Amino acid sequence: MTIDVARDPKPTYQALRDAGRARRTVGMFGSAVIASGRQAVDEIFRYPEVYSSAAHAGRLGNVRPLIPIEYDPPEQRKYRKLINPIFTPQAIERWEEPVRKLVHDLIDGFAGAEEIDFSRQFSIPLPSQIFLTLLGLPLDDLPTFLRLKDGIVRPAVLLGLPVNHPDVAALKARTAQEIYAYYDEVLDEREREPRDDLLSHLISTEIDGETLTREELLDICFLFLTAGLDTVSASLDTFMAYLAENPERRAEVVADPGNIDKVVEELLRWESPVMLVSRVAMADTDLVGCPVHRGDEVYVYLGSANLDEEELADAGEVRFDRTTNRHIAFGGGVHRCLGSHLARMELRVVLREWHARIPHYRIRPGARLDFTPGVRSIGSFPMLLGKGDD
């Protein structure tokens, strides 16, 4: 996966589907299967006992499986039962006002400017600030949070090395130990002095009459740091790049803020900020006519499945009036993103508040936006504010 493909993956997605909505290939770890059609992807999500997420444990430098994403049922279910109530739509309502304040604080920081770097000044810091707030941690920890996140999520980019270089693995391992130490100290503080925050809630919650062990708490916190930050940043980057390049669609958002829920869902489908996820086959099987062998890496192309014309006849059109939108930008099945409702709330608040204050913006002429492969965030996003040649 290259930067050029990440910038505009749709032709690649189409080529993948045209070659077969599930087909064999050779991947980074040996024999593999590419699933690019919606039917194939849905089948993978439907059978976690065949297509395992747990088999990937440890690839982020973590010494134990991350909870709950690197567990398969039945163990995974007990952890989801514990964590899901924290992230229901009703539970996250209380955080909408703090998120709105963080959005306005960031906008206030560049109010009156003619040009900003949207990524560095907004889409990168905002999700981390939100999580710091949810966890009851000081916003002054933002630089530490971002450094630890990048050391796990984009170590190859930081070092300028191939992803399979030994130094990349070493950086992930060192960063993982820092993450454990950081949260270990915070958890000590919360056990001494509980607060009204997510960490204190996790410490006091019980599974089958027992509280979580320290290792379990650390493994949940590790996932919070690595899974929910870049994905929201990438969503903001791709949304705003699309709207900056399509002023007539941006005008629709400005004119009808009451329709922002549908805008968010359609842009999640259209942009699919997380291009793909992967699984490991635990048994020989057949995937919509493609043979799958035990041990195969299975690449699940969410972005391609979201554009599959066999699933949605007008999948190649962006429509902000869809009454039904069955996209899988957040994955599917038992491992569907547990923070999807929080992410949706963040995206809705940003689109509503941003366009109320900054209805006109565009990409700086001549600027090239480089999207990171895999999770389509933008390293630098030069954006001109104010009315131009819209």
Q: What is the pLDDT of residue 213?
A: 94
Q: What is the pLDDT of residue 188?
A: 97
Q: What is the pLDDT of residue 106?
A: 98
pLDDT, tens digit, 9 for 90 and up, residues 206-242? 888 889 999 999 999 999 988 878 999 999 999 999 9
d(CA 57, CA 61): 9
Band of the pLDDT at 390, cuts 50, 70, 90?
low
Q: Could you tell me which residues come within 8 angstroms of residue 166 by beta carbon, excluding any fewer than 6 positions away?
A: none
- Is 40:17 a contact under the CB 8 Å cutoff? no
Radius of gyration of the chain (CA): 21
Alpha helices, H only, the chain: 3-7, 10-19, 38-46, 75-83, 89-92, 96-109, 118, 125-135, 142-153, 155-159, 166-192, 198-204, 214-227, 230-245, 247-255, 260-271, 302-305, 340-357
Residue 211, in any domain of the structure: yes
Mean pLDDT of the region 108-118: 96
d(CA 64, CA 361): 45
Q: What is the pLDDT of residue 185?
A: 96
Q: What is the pLDDT of residue 30?
A: 82
What residue numbers bound the domain in which 94 lies? 3-385
- Is 63:176 a contact under the CB 8 Å cutoff? yes
Residue 178, in any domain of the structure: yes
Residue 44, in any domain of the structure: yes
pLDDT, tens digit, 9 for 90 and up, residues 131-152? 999 999 999 999 999 999 999 9
- Residues above pLDDT 90, as percent of the chain: 84
Q: What is the pLDDT of residue 1?
A: 64
Residue 390, in any domain of the structure: no
Q: Which of 49-58, 159-168, 344-353 has the highest mean pLDDT?
A: 344-353
pLDDT, tens digit, 9 for 90 and up, residues 332-357? 999 999 999 999 999 999 999 999 99
Q: What is the pLDDT of residue 21?
A: 96
Residue 353, in any domain of the structure: yes
Residue 303, in any domain of the structure: yes
Q: What is the pLDDT of residue 389?
A: 60
* 36's tokens: 């690019």
The single residue listed with the structure tokens 């940003």 is 350
Residue 72 has pLDDT above 70, yes or no: yes
Q: What is the DSSP letter of 123?
A: I
- Is 388:360 a contact under the CB 8 Å cutoff? yes
Q: What is the pLDDT of residue 226?
A: 84
Band of the pLDDT at 257, cuts 50, 70, 90?
very high
Residue 182, in any domain of the structure: yes
How high does pLDDT run on average in the chain?
A: 94
Residue 374 has pLDDT above 90, yes or no: no
Residue 313 has pLDDT above 60, yes or no: yes
Q: What is the pTM of this model?
A: 0.95
Q: How many CB atoms within 10 Å of residue 318?
A: 15
Residue 224, in any domain of the structure: yes
In total, how many domains does the chain have? 1
d(CA 207, CA 169): 34
Mean pLDDT of the region 358-364: 98
Residue 66's CATH number: 1.10.630.10
d(CA 305, CA 13): 8
Band of the pLDDT at 61, cuts 50, 70, 90?
confident
Residue 315 has pLDDT above 70, yes or no: yes
The single residue listed with the structure tokens 């749709």 is 10
